[in-house]
Structure 1
């Protein structure tokens, strides 16, 4: 069906075309809100998206690692429908309800560490990060927060300060929150051969010389960086930082907003190296597409904050909590960590074949169903964002939804739903293969 034609949905009602919707968007939606493709969604399922003109897309984005259980996962749909018939909102801070408590119980069990934990629920990843910093500062009485090159932690004022990339996230939005200090990340492709321990020692030396460990409330890190380029630190980097944080009384915060909930082949990416964070921030894949986020951590840290110091009107909304509980049940039932490992094996093998023939690919990296290729000018490490954009555009034209990322915009990242079928995974990889030429 061509762009601009009129489709009908399953009920036979006329659906406005993408072309018409784009005109309405231009007149109604702020220009600063961007979209990857100019096609408007009518429906989606486990591994595909269908637009209002009837085009079907294979989904290698999953709403940026949100629909890990797929779109319209049966348990999620059923749970949300049942909840919406009972009540949609009371505000947990006013009149609490069981599902909020049940989500916190599940998070306390699932997250790394056998110590006693508490959780608090919020709306978005950025809000979870902000609250984790609040908790760390309150519990330690220290002001400074250490973050890393290439990091992405959100778009609010504090989380923009924590985020490394200027454009489009920080440009002309300052001034930003203070007492944020950035140190070098372990980036094996660009580290000149540094081991994880050596890269950690470099970061720690920077902190101790420029900030002073006694002034640091928290060290905040993504176990695998997301928007920064799917950077997987060298083995030993995270454990060394964890050891230093323990020795100095610094709160170790793992931002697992993109890596969490089975995405990397385990429930959480920290587990790949046995790292137990003091606090962990969660969102994205937690609730099958409904807005929910959380901070989970050591009971003595979480409970250090005075009553009323944490919360928000919509945090832990009952519909989102119902969706989260159903999503977690689905992850268990379908063994989605194993599914992510299988996707990673199939996709990784195919990407390495493409890399072997295309000198623009400097590295294939990632874990589980969180994979990427970094594109450079052949024979160099000079980033090639134009190539990444062109290949992604070719994928879109052929019916595969892909995303770019990286500090320089030169990384193609792949985040298929963990319930994607073998057929759709193979078709998507065929399209990607052809896009590389």
Structure 2
């Protein structure tokens, strides 16, 4: 494949951007995106299995969203709602609060991204409860602002050299569905209970902030027993239970919010990524009495809830609720599972696990060690995804050996099948030893 123009742009990028700006896997410089197909500056085409890190659940240049954005831009691009009011921000707030789990009366604050929405959760939790301590979990990713990065426990590269972090953040093990029920029943909240008995007074804990499906840890779904026991512990001790839905919200897991897979009504919900349908937007939504505890300007942003992002969000929200989309989602979910099953049956010694829920899918890549045990295959994972890139598929990894499969929810079925066909061919090339070690010099990303 020809990447001459892309390579030239990457060299220009290196001269002006700080290295921390990118976790890039390939020299892919995007020229155009047509819903689920990406075109680079050299006019190479790629099926999109990333959805811009799950921030484009309906793809880019979706005609419904594009029309809404154009209509808004004909009126005005944005005007701060810090000092005025905006029709589109109000309409979107009404829609989002209408789907709060359990039909609970809720209110919202808009920001610019999921990171500052996590910060909002900390602010409101502390203000409402009068407590300071926050519980989060190992392998959590919450964002890159100082508050959200203080709660993130997925890699030391996010935290090194920048301390001290936000104080009073306590981190505990996350129990996912790989644990058996007996172990989970016995152990899953034992560490927290010991902490409450020894060094962390429960009456000083404001909130538990948790991803129902840990995204950047490798799409680990919380064990139902763990989630229920954790929720009950919160209720017993007056601790707010806040669901972090930045990556998994907006039907990524088949339900509007990932927490809806559990019998839990959260006290608050953190939103980002696809909340803006491709435009910068974040939001924290919680029970009305919680949201009423802070006065302005404790949490407002000049560009937060801007009109163009909210216009895009309203259009996306309405389409997500439509019968047309719900049928597409159901059909694509079924097709994805069929493709995953075929892939695992074809390469049972390479793809040895499937994580996540529905269209938030992760494939575990392993190899045999000298004792015949399955162990993570980090090199193999990169070789597979790099060959997939060369064949026309954008897919990245999580952790050491997890293939992240998060296509647009409304991906065209033929492109979903084509993407998996490329992935199958790429795995076959790896198994046959047809991918040279020289590609490892390009290894980057997580």
What is the TM-score normalised by the length of structure 2?
Answer: 0.90
Which SS does the other structure have where 2:69 is aligned? Answer: helix
RMSD: 1.9
The match for 2:423 is: 432
CA deviation digits over 1:154-211, x for unaligned, max 9? 112221121112243223222211111111111343x466555445333542442341
Which SS does the other structure have where 1:297 is aligned? Answer: strand
Give 1:338 deviation, angstroms. Answer: 4.8
Matches of 1:72 and 1:25, distance apart in 2:
25
CA contact (8 A) 1:146 1:183 kept: yes
The match for 1:13 is: none
CA contact (8 A) 2:3 2:27 kept: no
Matches within 5 A, 1:112-131: 112-131=101-120
CA 1:282/1:106 → structure 2, altered by over 3 Å: closer, same or farther? same
Confirm or deny that 1:313 pairs with 2:302.
Answer: yes
CA 1:248/1:365 → structure 2, altered by over 3 Å: closer, same or farther? same
The match for 1:176 is: 165
The match for 1:422 is: 413
Confirm or deny that 1:385 pairs with 2:350.
Answer: no
1:326 corresponds, among 298, 315, 319, to: 315
CA 1:246/1:361 → structure 2, altered by over 3 Å: closer, same or farther? same
Confirm or deny that 1:151 pairs with 2:140.
Answer: yes
Matches of 1:62 and 1:3, distance apart in 2:
22
The match for 2:390 is: 397
The match for 2:363 is: 373
The size of the alignment, in residue pairs, is 422
Give 1:318 deviation, angstroms. Answer: 0.7
The match for 2:19 is: 31
CA contact (8 A) 2:353 2:363 kept: yes
Matches of 1:63 and 1:338, distance apart in 2:
23
Matches within 5 A, 1:23-422: 23-34=11-22, 35-189=24-178, 191=179, 194=182, 196-209=184-197, 210-333=199-322, 335-356=324-345, 357-378=347-368, 379-380=372-373, 382-406=375-399, 409-422=400-413
Give 1:348 deviation, angstroms. Answer: 2.6
Give 1:422 deviation, angstroms. Answer: 0.9
CA deviation digits over 1:93-134, x for unaligned, max 9? 112211111111111111212221111101010100000111
Give 1:221 deviation, angstroms. Answer: 0.4
Give 1:233 deviation, angstroms. Answer: 1.8
CA contact (8 A) 1:121 1:315 kept: yes
Matches of 2:184 and 2:325, distance apart in 1:
29
Matches of 1:206 and 1:431, distance apart in 2:
49
CA contact (8 A) 1:219 1:251 kept: yes
Gaps of 5+ in 1: 5-16
